[in-house]
Structure 1
Amino acid sequence: MHTDTAFTRRLGLPWPIVQGPFGGGLSSVSLVSAVNAAGGLGSFGVHHLHADQIMQVTRDLRAATAAPFALNLWIPLHDEAEHPVISDTQWDRAVRRLQPFFDELKLDLPARPKPSAVWPAYTQQIEALLEARPAVFSFVFGIPSPAILSRCQQLGIVTIGAATTPHEARLLEDAGVDMVVATGSDAGGHRVSFTDTPENLLTGTFSLIPQVRDAVRIPVIAAGGIADTRGVKAAMALGADAVQIGTAFLACEESNAGRPHQAALHAPGLPGTTLTRGFSGRLSRGLRNRLTIELAQAPEDILPYPWQNWLTGVLKRAAIAQDRADLMSLWSGQAVGLVRHQRVADLMQSLTGESPNRPDIHFVGHPTTRDYPTDITRQASLR
């Protein structure tokens, strides 16, 4: 594997491998620290957390690892209300659609929650993230404001945005974002398009990489359909400076996916993946199961994000406790059939071909980093 890239030089890492940032409680401190220990960039999805929780996660991460890590947020979509309003009729139809599953799991039908219980405030999240000052701020569904990007630069925080088209990649570069994740339609989780409906922007990873590489000068991180060393080498050959891997890391025991989810990712005779809005209200890719099949029959009963995400989350918690993978969201990319490893160390060794014997590694942030107190970059150095 070619390891001397713009990505590894910027972050001072041995390997050009990024662990996908899992939100919704799927990330864990153990996963991030294990990826960091093996020489990759660990990531923690915090879009579901309130500001005080983001600060606590950051403290926990710094206690567990001295290497660079990324915190990931969702940017509010420009054409979507930050607090979408739904009617009582919409809520009742969505609950009725899922009632057979609630009954199977012996759950009472949930009452409609207050909005404050459904989503955190983005403005408070971003302030907490800037105060936390991680080595890397990664984000999806858009571009932070110029003021936020400027503050990241002043604080020496490397910014990484996600693009599903060359046009989106150019918008990120023009805004001053440091790196771009070229996210193909093979990828598991949410389709993170922000210039059109995601159903219209479904370019596969290995078609997308060279187009994004030709469109921008900043480092390109390839994501989607990569789960083994063959995918890593192919992505790098097409011009990627690094790869981001999600499903293979999610299947590792260090992740917080839960036993039924991880077992499904390792199961023989996989049912295949599907694109659905049923899991969260936004288009996403996961394993096909009873939940996706049932919700596909009546898309009009699916609530917008984040209401649908909250509702299926109630199901998911009970399904995990009862070992019911058929009634929960099973995020997965199309490379799931290549998943082989259950521990991060084994996965990283298979991806890189060796276990790196690393010397002291120092994060190389913005040039302005040297003008700030040393505690800003302390978490980003391997002692």
Structure 2
Amino acid sequence: MKTWSDTRILKLFNIDLPILQAPMAGANNSVMAIAVAKAGGLGSIPCALYTADQIRNEVQKFRAETNKPLNLNFFCHKNPAPDSIREENWLKKLEAYYHEFGLDSKNGYTPSSRNPFDEKSCELVLELKPEVVSFHFGLPAKELVTKLKAAHIKIISSATTVDEARFLTENGCDAIIAQGFEAGGHRGIFQSLDINTQVGTMALVPQIADAVSIPVIASGGIADARGIVASFALGASAVQIGTAYLFCPESLISPVHRKALKSVKDNQTTLTNIFTGRPARAIENRLTKELGPMNILAPEFPLAGGPLSPLKAKTEPMGSGDFMSMWSGQAAHLAVELPAEELTKHLANEALKRMRMFD
């Protein structure tokens, strides 16, 4: 029987299938992670939007259902210094929309927040002992990485360039997620915010595989078995899949987002900073078209999203995605609607069948 040509990730994480479910903050929790883990892949819980108690609760749910390995994901950004002028200008930019929907911009809004990985986060992870911790936007402080490695926790992080991959390798990562330009959600970019020089998956994966000695996990534009086979041919040891899992019943996305995903075309997503303040790939909507996907007025991550929350709350119940961050990669059209456990097995089986064709 045909087996995977590169088993380094399988051995590193002690999993059966080289498929990592992308941790998607707000879009999945332990339910999806459990399903993927039971199928043999690596299930992931996104922690950036959770409190410590919520993270504990999610991990407890996972451990109660399976003894398979678990990945906890954290962001590594630095919270920006207050900039009242920039925030006021952003609110003014949105004021016409507030008036359109009968909202008062002076009544305030719920500030956006994402919790970066810090000393308290590290203590929590050491308490919960996940097998893997993944990071986005680089790595945390060296002393925190050292503590995680001393506890024998595997560390992975996203690289969007070869230089970022080299940095991650030299600073403690056990494997690299090569995040191509096609990927949905936030870019893992951390050495520069210039999206014009970002690299596609097909060009990025082999160059990172050549540049580092640790395993590479391909990510971006992979939604079916063909993408998995191609990733292995390019030098990857595994794939990380996000958008395809958004179609699963375990996904937490709204009906509006789900409907948009079902009809989105390959050229209907865009990299935008207006929803959070950092570049992220989302389905185009009224806001990205009228304000421009990358707007210089948008406050730094994660502050841009707060002023949008009243507009989203007003329009989403009407069935509108005009003011929502509907994350999606460029290959959404290739996804199939299956439960997460079934999807994971289906992708792996189909990939192995296609690999046998090339024997």
Q: What TM-score results when the alignment is normalised by the length of structure 2?
A: 0.88
The Cα offsets for residues 27-55 of structure 1, whole Å up to 9 and x where unpaired, read as 22211111112111111111122333322
Question: Which whole-Å CA distance do the structure 2 matches of 1:169 and 1:26 have between them?
Answer: 27
User: What's the RMSD between the two structures over aligned residues?
Assistant: 2.6
Counterpart in the other structure of 2:18: 16
SS in 1 for 2:341: helix
Unaligned 5+ segments in structure 1 are 357-383
Quick check: 160-169 or 317-326, which moved more?
Answer: 317-326
> Percent sequence identity over matched residues?
37
Amino acid at match of 2:56: M
> Take 2:189 and 2:294, find their aligned partners in 1: how far apart are those partners?
24
* Residues in 2 aligned to 1:220 and 1:110: alpha-carbon distance in whole angstroms: 48
Q: Deviations over 1:301-346 (max 9, x none)?
A: 3222111133334444554443222221110111112122242234
| SS of 2:221 mapped into structure 1 | coil
Residues 96-105 or 337-346, more deviating: 96-105
**Residue by residue, what CA displacement relative to the aligned partner does 1:216-248 show, whole Å, maximum 9, x if unpaired?**
111110000100000000000111000001110
Distance 1:186 1:114, change over 3 A: closer
Report 1:244-323 matches (<5 A). Answer: 244-267=240-263, 272-296=268-292, 299-323=295-319
How has the CA–CA distance of structure 1 residues 242 and 269 changed in structure 2, closer, same or farther, with 3 Å as cutoff? closer
Alignment: residue pair count? 349
CA contact (8 A) 1:228 1:350 kept: no
1:144 aligned partner: 140
Quote the residue 2:9 is aligned against.
7
> Shift of residue 16 of structure 1?
0.2
Q: 1:214: how far off?
A: 0.4
Q: Which moved more, 1:332-341 or 1:222-231?
A: 332-341
5+ residue gaps in structure 2?
A: 353-359
Q: 1:101, 1:327 within 8 Å by CA — same for their partners in 2?
A: no
Change (3 A) 1:102 1:160: same
| Counterparts in 2 of 1:111 and 1:86: CA distance versus 1, 3 Å | farther
| Mean CA deviation greater in 309-318 or 332-341 | 309-318
- Shift of the alpha carbon at 1:260? 1.1
| Other-structure match for 1:51 | 52
**SS of aligned partner of 1:309:** helix
Worse-matched range after superposition: 238-247 or 306-315: 306-315
Q: TM-score, length-normalised on structure 1?
A: 0.83
What whole-Å deviation, never above 9, does each CA across 1:160-195 have from its counterpart, x for those lacking one?
Answer: 111111111111111121111011111111111111
For residues 153 and 97 of structure 1, do their structure 2 counterparts lie closer, same or farther at Cα, with a shift above 3 Å needed? same
Task: Return closer, same or farther for 1:12/1:122 CA change in 2, 3 Å cut-off.
Answer: closer
Q: Within the alignment, does 1:173 sit opposite 2:175 as a pair? A: no
User: Which position in structure 1 is the counterpart of 2:356?
Assistant: none
- Contact 1:316/1:329 (CA < 8 Å) preserved in 2? no
Q: Which residue of 2 aligns with 1:31?
A: 32
